[in-house]
Amino acid sequence: MPFLGNKKIIKFIYFLGIIRWYNVLLMVLGQYFLALFVFGPQYSFHQIILDKTLHLMVLSTIFTLCGAFVINSFYDSDKDLVNRPKSALVGRAIGTTFLANSYVLFNFLATLFAFCATKKILVFYVFYILICWFYSHKLQKKPIVRELSASILTMAPLIAVWIHYGVWDWKLMYFFCTLLALLFTKDVVKDIAGHKGNLIFGYNTVVVAAGKSKVKLGLVIFNIVVFLVFLGIYFIQNEHFYKNVDLILGSSITLISTVLVTAIGLTSWKNKYKRMDLMLKFLIAFHLALPLFTFFINIASK
C-alpha cells in the first residue's frame, strides 16, 4: 500500500511538470499585479480585492493554461522524444487516457468559471480555449505564425484583465508590446534549441525555414528596431524618462536586456541557448512583476 501511495505522488509530481505549474503561477501573479497596481488607482484596491469577476477569471486562466499545456504535450510527444526526452517519457508514463480526461476536465472547469464571471469573459475564454487547441493542431507547424501566435496566446490572460476593467492607459501599450517582443524572442530561441526535433518531425519553424545564422541576426535586429520604435513613440508623446518611474521605464529596461540577451546568440558560448532561455524566462518574470515594482518605487519617490 505505501508503494502505491508513493506511485501516485510521483505521478502527480510528473503531471505538475506537464501542466507547467510554474508558468501558470507566474501568469496568475501577473494578472493580479496588473489588476491591483495598474487598474487599482482608477478603481480602488478595495474594489479590486473584492472583485469576484477577477478571481473567477483567474481560476478560468489556471484551468485554460493547464489544458493548453496538456494538449500541447499530445501533439509534441514525438518531437519531445528528440528535444526533451525526459518530458516525453513522463507523458507516456502518466498515460494518454489520463491526459485526455484531464484536458476535458480542465476545459470544462475553465468554461464554468468564465460562465460564472460575465458573458464577455465567457466569450473570451471559450475563444481562447479553441485557439489554444488550433495552435497545437495547426499553427505550430507554420513559421512566424507559430512563434507569433504562441506569444499572443501566452499574454492573452493579461489582455483579459484589461478587457474586464476597460480602462486604457498608454503605459499598457508599452507594457504589452514589450512583453510580446520578449515572448516572441523566447519562442524563437526555443525553436533554435529544439531545431533537431522540429526538422525530423516536419515542424516548419522560422529556424527551419531561414536557418540558424539568419534567425540569430534577425532576432537582434528585431529587438533593436522594437526598441527604436518604442523610443520614437515615447518622445512623440512628449514624455520624459525622468518624469516618472513607471511601467514605461521598466519596459525600456526589459527591451534593453532582451537586446543584450539576443546578442549573446551571435557568440560562441557553450550551451548558449539554454542560458539564453533561462535569462529570457527571468526577464519575463521581471516584466510581469513590473506593476508591483513600479508601485513601490513610486510610493518611495513621493
Residues 164 and 120: beta-carbon distance below 8 Å: yes
Average pLDDT over residues 87-95: 60
pLDDT greater than 70 at residue 196: no
**How far, in Å, CA of 17 to CA of 35, rounded?**
28
Residue 183 corresponds to which cell in the numbers above?
A: 515572448
Q: Which residue has the cell 497596481?
A: 37
Is CATH 1.10.357.140 correct for 11-165? Answer: yes
* Residue 91, pLDDT score: 56
Residue 218 CB partners (closer than 8 Å, separation 6+) = 210
Q: What is the mean pLDDT of the chain?
A: 80
Residues 252 and 213: beta-carbon distance below 8 Å: no
Other residues' Cβ atoms within 10 Å of the Cβ of residue 119? 9
Residue 160 CB partners (closer than 8 Å, separation 6+) = 31, 57, 61, 121, 124, 125, 128
Residue 125 corresponds to which cell in the numbers above?
A: 475564454
Residue 274 CB partners (closer than 8 Å, separation 6+) = 193
Q: Which residue has the cell 488607482?
A: 41
- DSSP code at position 39: S
Average pLDDT over residues 174-185: 89
pLDDT greater than 50 at residue 4: no
Average pLDDT over residues 242-268: 74
- DSSP code at position 85: H
Q: What is the pLDDT of residues 149-168, one digit of tens each?
A: 989 999 999 999 998 988 77
- DSSP code at position 43: S
pLDDT winner (highest mean) among 156-170, 202-216, 257-271 = 156-170
CATH 1.10.357.140 maps onto the chain at 11-165
Task: Single out the residue of 229, 226, 210, 216 nearest to residue 262, CA to CA.
Answer: 216
Average pLDDT over residues 128-151: 86
Using alpha carbons only, how large is the chain's radius of gyration in Å?
A: 20
| Of 259 and 7, more confident | 259
Distance set, CA 249 to CA 12, 183, 295 (Å): 41, 19, 12
**How far, in Å, CA of 4 to CA of 143, rounded?**
45
> DSSP letters along 109-159, please?
HHHHHHHHH-HHHHHHHHHHHHHHHHHHHTGGGSTTHHHHHHHHHHHHHHH
Which residues in 156-240 belong to E strands, given as ranges?
none
| Of 207 and 259, more confident | 259
**How far, in Å, CA of 29 to CA of 79, rounded?**
31
| Of 193 and 118, more confident | 118
Confidence class for position 107, pLDDT limits 50, 70, 90 = very high
The residue count for the chain? 302
